[in-house]
Copies of this chain bind each other. A is one copy, B any other.
Amino acid sequence: MSLANAVLAGERLALARLLSQIENDQPSGRTALGELFPYTGKAHLIGVTGAPGTGKSSLVNRLAHHFRHPPPGVPQRTIAIVAVDPSSPFTGGAILGDRVRMRDLSGDPGVFIRSMAARGSLGGLAPATASLVQVFDAAGFEIIIIETVGAGQAEVDIARLAHTTLVVEAPGLGDEIQAIKAGILEIADILVVNKADRPGVENTERALRGMLELAHPTQRKIMHHGQKMTVPVPEEGTIEEKHWVPLILRTVATQGDGVPELVKAIEEHQNFLDITGLRNERDRTRLQTELELLIQGNLVSRWRQKVSQTQYEQVLESLIARQISPHQAVEVLLDGGQRP
């Protein structure tokens, strides 16, 4: 039985082996991924991101627990977690995180957790994450959570892989954090104020509402006979119909408070995507982004095979000596010309 078939048959060991092959960019992994790809497109992908210190991992654990132990009458769902961890090798952060998780969710065959280290080069992380997600999708996991630590561009790119994106905040993380939020708010479907038992939760929520209003105005101020008036933005129109105004929810992940409500909000967003057809649009964007990243990586590696090391070194030396500019260096290297 091929590795791909073993994964389709639900063999966990085969699944783990394939994930490693993909992370290490082995040709066998790529082949299996090609075989599995037709079976993808069924899972609901949830991105969880936010600044450090917000308690994302605890929240993800609780979410997983809730999907595995739903209230009576709600079907249980299988869940995979891809935790993208920017820790460097020497801290072992990823391993520790997994160990804490394993205690909660271990022994449950409906759960699979995989950590990915976020080292690696330019644009390398998002495609690898996309591939892992595809494997879990083909393997039949119904919910896939992509968790990223941090709030940089790489994290935003990864969050874009998801159908439903949760941005996690917490009280008391400083004011400058607002700057970060602005960028990340644009990708948020649900805003979670975790650690909501801490002082300052009202301030955090108010700040988020303020930013949401800027991003998704539900009212607009006009001048009427010289007086300022506030009128609602019209609700009709094709754009408005497809418009999801992000929800703000409070949780205390360590206690499980607010988690059932969060799960309900995720399901509402899932319905919204299905009804409006936005799910297909998101899938399309996601696959297109993945395609473009792969093309970029391929173009670079093909070019590297073509250019001679000697020529490359010569051009680099001229650049360092300031004899040619970076743009001139690119021209020489790509057009195979001589140094000017």
Contact = CB atoms under 8 A, between A and B. Distances in A.
Interface of A: 30, 33-34, 37-38, 40-41, 51-57, 85-88, 90-91, 93, 118-119, 122-123, 125, 130, 149-155, 157, 170, 172-180, 182-183, 185-186, 211, 214-215, 283-284, 287-288, 290-296, 298-300, 302-303, 315-316, 319-320, 322-330, 333-334
Given A34-B325, A322-B37, A52 B299 contact: no
B93 A149 contact: no
Tell me which of A41, A51, A284 has the highest count of chain B C-beta atoms within 10 A of its own C-beta.
A51
B37 A325 contact: yes
Which applies to chain A's interface (DSSP): helix, strand, loop or mixed? helix
Contacts of A319: 287, 291
Contact of A90 (B174, B176, B182, B328): B182
Contacts of A86: 151-153, 179-180, 182-183
B87 A179 contact: yes
Given A41-B322, A88-B186, A122 B52 contact: no
A151 B150 contact: yes
B85 A214 contact: no
Given A87-B179, A287-B319, 15 more contacts: A34-B327, A37-B326, A51-B52, A53-B173, A86-B151, A86-B179, A86-B180, A86-B183, A152-B152, A153-B153, A173-B173, A283-B320, A294-B327, A294-B329, A299-B300
Contacts of A37: 322, 324-326
Contact of A327 (B33, B118, B178): B33
Nearest to A334: B298
A170 to B, nearest CB: 7
Contacts of A119: 183
A105 to B, nearest CB: 19
B298 A296 contact: no
Contacts of A323: 38
A88 B283 contact: no
B151 A52 contact: yes
A322 B90 CA distance: 40
A174 B53 CA distance: 5
A20 B91 CA distance: 41
